Amino acid sequence: MEGILVRTLFILQGAFLPFTASISTSKPNIVFIMADDLGWNDVSFHGSDEILTPNIDALAFNGIVLNNLYTQPVCTPSRVALMTGKYPIKLGMQGPPTYGAEPNGLPLSEKLLPEYFKELGYSTRAIGKWHLGFFKQAYTPTRRGFESFLGYYTGYVSYYDYILQDTYQKYGEFNGFDLRRNETIAWDLVGKYATDVFTDEAVRLIKDQPANKPMLLYLAHLAVHSANKGKPLEAPQSEVDKFKHILDPNRRTYAAMVSKLDESVGRVVQALKEKDILENTIIIFMSDNGSPTFDDSGNDFPSHVDVGISPNWGSNFPFRGTKNTLWQGGVKSASFIWASDLQRNRRVSKQLMHITDWLPTLYSAAGGNPAFLPKNLDGLNQWTSLVSNKPSQRKYVLLNIDEKQRYAGIIKDNWKLIIGATKSGTLDGFFGVTRPRVQYNATAVLYSMAGRAVSRLSSGLPHVTIQDVLAARYESVIRCNPSENGTQTRSPCPSGAACLFDLLADPCETVNVAREHVGVSAQLYDMLKYYRRLLIPQTNQPFDPTANPTRYNDTWSSWAY
C-alpha cells in the first residue's frame, strides 16, 4: 500500500539520485555487513562503555547512524525481507526461523536482491549465513543470484568445528557439518575461527575484484549468534583476556566475539582502501534482530531455550524485550550506512526505515531505475532522503503479524501498537542491563583501521574530530525515564489486549496509552487488519527425518530432489 503509492510519486517527481563518488563515475561497490543477534547496547556508538567497538564506531560517526531502522524479530524473516524487499507475511515466512531438517525455504518464485544487481552488471558474492532454505539445491545461494558463496546453509554453527546440533522431539538429535565453498564441503577450514574465516574471504574477494566491475558483497556473519549447547559462546582466548573488567564469564566471552566482529569491519574497510575503491563503496552495517539476552544477574534466561534460540549474553538495554519479540529490543537494529557522499552530511538519523527498504534504496544508489522494480515491494527507495537529509519516504512500518502466536505490531509516525505476546510474555521485560566498566576512547575510534582508512580519502571530505565523535555518540544514546525503565519484568499491556506507546515521549515502551488515545489505536488496528488480509499462512513444515546428516557423510546437505 504505502510502497506502491510513495514509489510512484517518487519516480514521477524524478527524485532519482544515484551514488556519485568524487573520484569515480562508475557504479559503487556495495558491502552489506549483517551481524547476527547483536544487541542495541553491544556497540559503543550507542553509548555502551562495556564493549568498545572502534572500527564500527568510526564508520558510524563518519556516516549516518540509523537510529530508527527496524527489522524482523528473528533470523529467517529478516533475511527474507532483505532479499525480497517484501514483508515476510506476503510469503508465508513470518513465523519461526527455518530449521535444518525442515523442507522449506524462500519461495523460488521470488526474485532476490543479487539477481537485480547482476542485471546492473555487478559481481555478486555471499559469505556466512544463508538460512533461507537448502532442502533442494535450487534454494541455495549460488542458485539464487550469488556467483560465489562461502558459508553455511543453516541458522548457526559452532565457531571452530562448524557443526550444527538440532534436536527434534520426534527424531532426537541431528549433528552435522555445515560449511561450503559454493556447493563443495570445506573440511579444510575446521579449527579456524569463523569470524576470521569469513573476513579472510571478504578481503580476498575485494583484492581479486576486477577494477572495471562493481561488486555486491553480502557478509552475513555468524557473530554474535550463540553456538551449540554445552559451549554456546566461543572466541580466541587472547581476545577474551582483553575484557577482564567484565565479571560474568559468559558476557566476557560474548564481548570478545563482538570485538572480533569489530576487527572484521576494520579489516574489510582497510582492504577496500588498499584496493583504492573505498571512496566508491557504500557500506551498510546492521543486526538482523535484537539479542536473545540475559537477566540482570547474568544467568541464562531459560525461556530462550524453549524457542530453540539460546541466549548469547548480549544486551538490548535500555529497550524492552529480546529477539523473538516486537518490542524495541527485538526489532530495532543497531545500524549505520557509510559512503563518501554521506560523509559530507554525517549525522545521527531519526528517519524511519525498514529492512525491506535496502533493496530499492541500494538499487537506486547503484544507478538502477526504480521504475523497473516490481510494484508490489514493501520497501521504499530512501537513497535521496539519506543523501540529502530529507524526510523519510516511509510513514509506517509493519513489524509483523504472526497468526499462530496471535501476535502483531505496527508503527506509524511516533505511535506503536502491539497486540498479544510471545512465550506468554516471558520475554517482555528489560534484560541485559550493563554498567560502565571502561572509559570510552574516542582517539581509538579515529585511529582504528576503519578510522584511519576513511580519514585518508580525498581532501575534500570533512575530517571527524574527537569532539565530533563524542557529540555524535551523545546524540545516538536513547534516554528513558529512569524511574520506570528496568523495573518492569512483564509487559504493561493487559494479556492479549492492544498496547499503544508514544515512542517520541516514551522510547522504551514503559507506559501503555491505549486508553488515552483510542482513535490512534483504532487507526493502527485498522492498518493491521488491512495487512492481515494480505497474509499468506506460515509455510513452516514438519521436520523430515531424511534430512539427518548421517545420511550425507555427516553434513547438512540438500536432500529433496
CATH number of the structural domain spanning residue 239: 3.40.720.10
Helices (H), 41-155: 54-62, 75-84, 113-119
Gap between the Cα atoms of 547 and 98, Å rounded: 13
Q: Decide if 19 is inside a domain.
A: no
What is the domain extent for residue 448?
Answer: 28-346+424-481
What whole-number percentage of the chain has pLDDT above 90? 81
Helix, coil or strand: residue 425:
helix
Which residue in the list 46, 75, 221, 225 is annotated as catalytic? 75
User: DSSP string covering 125-172, please?
Assistant: EEEEE--S--SSGGGSGGGTT-SEEEEESSS---TTT-EEEEEETTTE
For this structure, is 499 an active site residue? no
In the numeric block, the cell 513489524 is attached to 399
Query: Could you tell me the pLDDT band of residue 412, with boundaries at 50, 70 and 90?
Result: very high
Q: Report the share of the chain in percent with pLDDT over 70.
A: 90
Let me know if residue 363 belongs to a domain: no
Which pLDDT does position 293 carry in this prediction?
85
* Predicted pLDDT of residue 306: 29
> Does residue 278 lie in a domain region?
yes
User: Angle at Cα 37 formed by Cα 288 and Cα 53, nearest 5°?
Assistant: 100
- pLDDT(457) > 60: yes
Rounded Cα–Cα distance for residues 499 and 417 (Å): 6
CA–CA dist 12, 19 (Å, integer): 20
DSSP letters for 243-284: GTT--SHHHHHHHHHHHHHHHHHHHHHHHHHHTT-GGGEEEE
- Which pLDDT score, from 0 to 100, does residue 8 have? 41
Please indicate, yes or no, if residue 318 is contained in any of the structural domains.
Answer: yes
pLDDT grade for 458, boundaries at 50, 70 and 90: confident
pLDDT band at 1 (very low <50, low <70, confident <90, very high): low
pLDDT exceeds cutoff 60 at 348: yes
Q: What is the largest CA-CA distance in the chain?
A: 64
pLDDT on residue 302: 34
268-277, 427-436, 525-534: least confidently modelled range: 427-436
Q: Looking at the domain assignment, is residue 515 inside a domain?
A: no
Q: Can you tell me which residue has the cell 562448524?
A: 162
Q: b/e string for 492-515 if b means 16 or more Cβ within 10 A?
A: bbeeeebbbbbbeebbbbbebbbe
* Phi, psi torsion values for 352, nearest 5 degrees: -70, 125
State how far the Cα of 340 lies from the Cα of 22, in Å rounded to an integer.
8
**Can you tell me the mean pLDDT for 163-175?**
93
Q: Is 131 designated active site?
A: yes
Using the predicted structure, report yes or no on whether residue 435 has a pLDDT greater than 80: no
pLDDT of the residue at 10: 41
Q: Is the pLDDT confidence value at 24 over 70?
A: no
Rounded distance, CA 519 to CA 512, Å?
14
Spacing of C-alpha 243 from chain mean position:
25
Read off the pLDDT of residues 496-533 as tens digits, 9 standing for 90 and up: 789 999 999 999 999 999 999 999 999 999 999 999 99
Mean pLDDT over each residue of the chain, to the nearest integer? 91
Give dist(CA 396, CA 381) in Å, integer.
Answer: 14
Contacts of 77 (CB under 8 A, 6+ apart): 88, 93, 94, 95, 97, 400
Lowest mean pLDDT across 145-149, 341-345, 431-435: 431-435
Report yes or no on 359 lying in a domain: no
Would you put residue 532 in left (φ > 0), alpha (ψ -120 to 50) or beta?
alpha
Read off the pLDDT band of 491 (50, 70, 90): confident
**Residue 300's pLDDT is what?**
40
pLDDT at 462: 75
- In this prediction the pTM is 0.93
Stronger pLDDT, 142 or 405, i.e. the higher one: 142
Would you state the pLDDT for residue 480? 85
For residue 436, name the pLDDT band (cuts at 50, 70, 90).
Answer: low
Within a domain: 237: yes
**Would you state the pLDDT for residue 295?**
61
- What's the CA angle centered on 470, arms 465 and 476, to 5 degrees? 125
Least confident of 1-15, 97-111, 261-275: 1-15
C-alpha cell at 315: 544486551
Residues 104 and 539: beta-carbon distance below 8 Å: yes
- What pLDDT was estimated at residue 265? 99
What is residue 18's predicted lDDT score, i.e. its pLDDT? 57
Domain-located, residue 553 = no
Span 262-279, average pLDDT: 98
Q: Buried b / exposed e across 57-95, counting CB within 10 Å, b at 16+?
A: bbbbbbbbbbbbbbbbbbbbbbbbbbbbbbbbbbbbbbb
Average pLDDT (319-336) is: 96
> In the chain, how many domains are there?
1
Mean pLDDT of 297-307: 35
pLDDT of residue 438: 87
- φ, ψ dihedrals at 169, nearest 5°: -55, -40
Q: Measuring CA to CA, how many Å separate 87 from each of 28, 150, 295?
A: 27, 27, 31
- pLDDT over 90 (residue 484): no
Nearest partner of 516 among 526, 496, 502, judged by Cα: 502
Average pLDDT over residues 525-542: 97
Least-confidence region, from 9-13, 216-220, 294-298: 9-13
Give the three-class secondary structure for 393.
Answer: coil
pLDDT value, residue 459: 65
Query: Which of 342 and 193 is assigned the larger pLDDT?
Result: 193
Lookup: cell for 450 = 576503519
Q: Are 224 and 36 within 8 A, CB to CB?
A: yes
Q: How many CB atoms lie within 10 A of CB 522?
A: 13
| pLDDT score of 308 | 31
> Which residue, among 114, 95, 108, 157, has the nearest Cα to 137 in the 3D structure?
108
The reported pLDDT for the residue numbered 508 is 94
Q: Which of 61-70, 302-311, 316-325 has the highest mean pLDDT?
A: 61-70
Residue linked to cell 535521496: 384
What is the structure's pLDDT at 54?
Answer: 98
Q: Give pLDDT, residue 429.
A: 82
